[in-house]
Amino acid sequence: MLDDTIAAIATPLGQGGLAIIRISGENAVTVGDAVFRPPNGVDDHLAKANSHTIHYGHIVRESQRIDEVMVSVMRAPATFTREDIVEINCHGGMQSTRAVLDTVLGAGARLALPGEFTKRAFLHGRIDLTQAEAVADLIHARTDLALNAANEQLAGKLSQRINQLRDDTMHVLAHVEAHIDFPDEDIEPDTMDGLLKRLESSETFIDQLLATANEGQLVRKGIRVAIVGRPNAGKSSLLNQLLGHDRAIVSDIAGTTRDTISEEAQIRGIPVVFVDTAGLQETEDVVEQEGVRRSRASLGQADLVLHVLDASEPPTPDTEARLAELAERNCIVVLNKSDLPARLDQADTHGGQAVPVSCLNGDGIEELKDAIRASVWDGEITSEMLEVMVNSRHQEALNRAKTALQTALGQLREGAVLDLVAVDLRIATNAIGEIVGKTTTEDLLDSIFSTFCIGK
C-alpha cells in the first residue's frame, strides 16, 4: 500500500475561508500536475518546481475550472510522510472542497484511510509509535496541560526513556544468551550483581512510568461529574457558575430541569464534563420519573458526584438517606445558599467533604474547583510528569514487561536454568518495544491509526 499515492481533505469539513487537500506518495507531483494549471498558460509544471515552494493557479477538470488555488510542493524525504507531498489550498466551502478532492482522486490518487498519512510517517521511520499517538493527542487536546503533554511526547521525551529501558533489558538478555551459548562458564558474581541491579533499576523505572498512567488519562480524557440533589437545591445555578456562563435554565419553580444537560469546562487544567440532572425525588409525573431515571443513570457513570444541598434549610430524612447512599462514592457535598442564614453545616454531612458556596454571588466557587481537582489528582503537575505521561496502551505493555522482569529477577536470584530467564527477558523486551513500535503487529497498527481522522 505504500506504493499508492493517497489524498484526503486535511482540514475540518464545513464552510471556511480555506481548505487543504493533501496528496502523498511516489506520484503525488504527477497527480498534482494533472489537475493544476498555472495562470495564463504559463509553462510552470509542478514537476519542475523546487521543493517547499508554493504556486498560484487553478484546479481544472476536463478544461473546466474548479477552483482558484495555491499549491505547495514538498519533496521527499523532507516531508511529514517522507514521501513527495502536494498540498492544495482551496476555498473552504463544502462543495468546492469536495470537487477539488474528486478531481485529485480522478487523476490517480486513492482516498486515504484514517490516520494513513501519520502511519506512513511511522513506517518510513520519521516518528515512532509514541510520537504518532502524540499527533492524535495534539489534535484532540482539550486543555493546556493536554497540549503540553502531547508536545512533549511528540518531541520524543517519552521515546527516549522507553528506548533506554529497552536497551537495558536487551543488555541483560545479551549476557544471559551468551552464557547459554557457553554453558561451561558460570556468570561471575560481580557480573551477576550488575545484571540484577540493572533489572531492578528497570523495574523501578517501569513503576515510575506506571504511576503517571492515571494522570495521563485525566489530562487526555478528563472526568465526568454528576451534579445531583433535590429539586430547587441550586444544581443548574451551580452548573452555570462552574461554566462561567448561563447554560441551564434557572427559575424558582421546582423541577425546571427534567432532562440531563452536559457541558464541558476546564477545571484547573483537567477537562471536566458536568452533567446537570433532574432533581432526585419521588414523583407521580411520568416525565419527571424519566428525568429521575436518567439522573440515576448519569450518577452511575460519574467519576465524581457533586451533591448539592440547600444549606438554608434544615436536614430532612431524605437528606440523610441521600448522604448515606453516596457515602461510598467519590463525592463532594456542595452546601449552596451560603449567603443565607445556615441551617445545615458540615457536621450534618456525617464527615463527608463539604464546600459552602453561594450560586447567587459566586462565593466558594473557586474553592469548589480546587476540591474537584484534588478529588481526582492530589499533587503538583510538573514538566517532568508531562514528559512521560503514559496512555492505556503503554500501561498494558509496561505491566506485561514488569511481570516478565519480576519473573526473570526471581529466576536469576534462585539460579534457575538460563534458558527460562531468557524467555522472560525476551517477553519483557518485546513488550517494551511495542510502546515505540520496534516490535509490533499489523493489527496493533490498524487499531491505533484507525482512531485518527482522515487526512492526518
User: Could you tell me the pLDDT band of residue 255, with boundaries at 50, 70 and 90?
Assistant: very low
Are 236 and 326 members of one domain? yes
User: Could you tell me the pLDDT band of residue 41, with boundaries at 50, 70 and 90?
Assistant: low
Is 182 a member of any domain? yes
Is 123 a member of any domain? no
Residue of higher predicted confidence among 52 and 260: 52
Question: Is this prediction's pTM over 0.85?
Answer: no
CA distance 262 to 285: 23
Instruction: Say whether pLDDT at 388 is over 80.
Output: no
Are 258 and 365 members of one domain? yes
pLDDT in tens, 293-314: 566 566 667 888 888 888 888 8
User: Could you tell me the pLDDT band of residue 257, with boundaries at 50, 70 and 90?
Assistant: very low
> Is 329:363 a contact under the CB 8 Å cutoff?
no
CATH of the domain at 77: 3.30.1360.120
**What mean pLDDT comes out for the span 111-123?**
93
**What mean pLDDT comes out for the span 263-269?**
83
CA distance 36 to 16: 22
CA distance 454 to 456: 6
User: What are the residues facing 71 on neighbouring strands?
Assistant: 55, 88
CA distance 4 to 7: 10
Are 159 and 48 members of one domain? no
pLDDT for position 403: 96
**CA neighbor of 270 nearest in space, from 217, 219, 304, 306:** 219
- The proportion of the chain whose per-residue pLDDT surpasses 90, expressed as a percent, equals 36
Q: What torsion, rounded to 10 degrees, do the Cα atoms 74, 78, 80, 81 define?
A: 90
Are 176 and 203 members of one domain? yes
Are 234 and 332 members of one domain? yes
pLDDT for position 330: 85
Task: Note down the domain range covering 442.
Answer: 130-212+388-449
User: Could you tell me the pLDDT band of residue 438, with boundaries at 50, 70 and 90?
Assistant: confident
CA distance 42 to 39: 6
Are 396 and 369 members of one domain? no
Is 431 a member of any domain? yes
pLDDT for position 22: 97
Contacting residues for 144 by C-beta, under 8 A, at least 6 apart: 266, 269
CATH of the domain at 140: 1.20.120.430
CA distance 23 to 9: 9
Instruction: Say whether pLDDT at 281 is over 60.
Output: no
Number of domain units in the chain: 3
> Is 107:412 a contact under the CB 8 Å cutoff?
no
CA distance 87 to 65: 18
Residue of higher predicted confidence among 451 and 171: 171
Contacting residues for 237 by C-beta, under 8 A, at least 6 apart: 248, 250, 336, 359, 360
**CA neighbor of 305 nearest in space, from 357, 375, 247:** 375
Are 318 and 299 members of one domain? yes
**What mean pLDDT comes out for the span 109-124?**
93
> Is 322:280 a contact under the CB 8 Å cutoff?
yes
Is 430 a member of any domain? yes
pLDDT for position 75: 96
